Amino acid sequence: MSNSSQQPSPEHTGKEPIPFADRLTCTIADACAAIGLGRTKVYELIADKKLSTISIGRRRLVLVASLKTLIGNESFDGRSKK
């Protein structure tokens, strides 16, 4: 019998979206939407090394872990939470 009639599980199809919190990276636009800030402020946070990014070719991606760290540890006016 052929196994061609069996459907692969969703985690192997690549068509199911990965939950944002489980992603390793996101686009600048996704980062803006996730933290509710504009592109200019996100680029300022990158320049201030408060958000980590990687570049692949011409594409710049934000590390989701750095977004989580920013939200958890700092207010957006630059003062650390205490």
Chain centroid to Cα 7, Å, comes to 30
Between 54 and 22, name the one with better pLDDT: 54
Give which of 22, 27, 37 is closest to 70, Cα–Cα: 37
Tokens of 19: 């939950």
**Tens-digit pLDDT profile for residues 26-80:** 999 999 999 999 999 999 999 999 999 999 999 999 999 999 999 986 554 555 5
Global pTM? 0.69
Q: How do the domains of the chain map onto residue ranges?
A: 24-73
